[in-house]
Amino acid sequence: MSTSGPLVGYKVIEMAGIGPNPMCAMMLADMGAEVIRVDRVVESGLGIPMEPKFSLLDRSRCSIAVDLKQPEGVALVLDLVEQADALIEGFRPGVMERLGVGPVECLARNPKLVFGRVTGWGQEGPLAKAAGHDINYISLVGASYAIGRPGAPPPPPLNLVGDFGGGAVYLALGVLAALLEAKTSGQGQVVDAAMVDGAASLMTATYGMHAAGVMSDNRGANILDGGAHFYDTYETSDGEFISIASIEAKFYDELMERTGFSDPEQAAHRDQTQWADHSTKMAAMFKSKTRAEWCEILEGTDVCFAPVLSITEAPKHPHNVAREAFVECDGVIHPAPAPRFSRTPSKIQKPASAPGADTDAVLERWGFSADSIQAWKADGVVA
């Protein structure tokens, strides 16, 4: 497998899971790290089942299936750890320790190892061992409460804020920072990336605005939550939607100039008590034309405008096409690797592997003998 990216040469063990851990592994693998996913020999039943080619988070890396209930399986993972730069896992607190591959065992075998772990509630605290999902973690830190319309329950923002923003990205950042530090100190360490912590961190600016008195606890009544008529989404005459974000005065001026919307001397732009009335007026204005007509008038201007595109439409938009923001792999459209590097570009290294599909090839490449591999397969240690 020919790889490219700024992390070529790094080796990472991924303990298979759902949500933020595979997202982090995908990011590291897209950047060129050799990431080996350690799957179970029997499916866990977690997550949303689908054919492997559509499990896009599993792209760019190989899979081996190991039975960690057998001592030989545990020994095999520890042998892999000896050669790795990092290990990442997303189990509940204590699971890796019970399996015999926790930080103590792994760092004893490889003192330079970065042991990255991502959980919902963190490694300790009253909720640490409770089950949860994205929406629960973002609810606890005020993020969920701040999203949505007044008088309606907060909507689930997919699983972008907790799983991926607060979990995967913070785990990747922590692992990379620890790898940099290990190069100078020669010592590994444990990275504790809790989704509840990451989601709280993502809310830093929001907490600042709240402390300054420019954002209230009233949902749908603030500048960035749909309370302002100049920062919202609107329906068009053909049942589609567009987005407006004319926060700054000069952008609001251009919005009025290009649309004919009336707000003399920007009175409503400054006066929050007028927002609701002007939202009604703006909704009527945008309902007068189709989405395509508004794109013709506003797209590419300083109004701060974009059409609201569906998942089917987005890869076909000219801007996304020009930037190759979406790429095809194995007949499936993927969001392209991000961020971009000028000299060592990332790429989708390979399509997603079915669990255990690469067991033989990976173990051979990592120096295990064919006889050992066959014996493990015969005993059910690997599959």
Please list the active-site residues.
Answer: 133, 163
Q: What angle do CA 30, 33, 38 make, to 5 degrees?
A: 95
* CA–CA distances in Å: residue 81 to residues 114, 180, 366: 10, 18, 11
Rounded CA gap, 166 and 195, in Å? Answer: 5
Query: Which of 90, 88, 118 is closest to 179 using CA atoms?
Result: 88
**What CA–CA distances, in Å, run from 49 to 20, 36, 351?**
16, 21, 17
Helices 169-185 and 195-202, axial angle in degrees (round to 10): 100
307 in Cβ contact with 299 (< 8 Å): yes
What distances in angstroms separate CA 328 from CA 315, 321, 350, one per listed residue? 10, 12, 11
Burial of 290 (0-12, 13-18, 19+ CB in 10 A): middle
Quick check: helix, strand or coil at residue 335?
Answer: strand
The values of phi and psi at residue 39, to 5°, are -90, 165
> What is the longest distance spanned by two Cα atoms in the chain?
82
Structure tokens at 61: 């890396």
| Closest to 168 (Cα-Cα) out of 17, 381, 360, 372 | 17
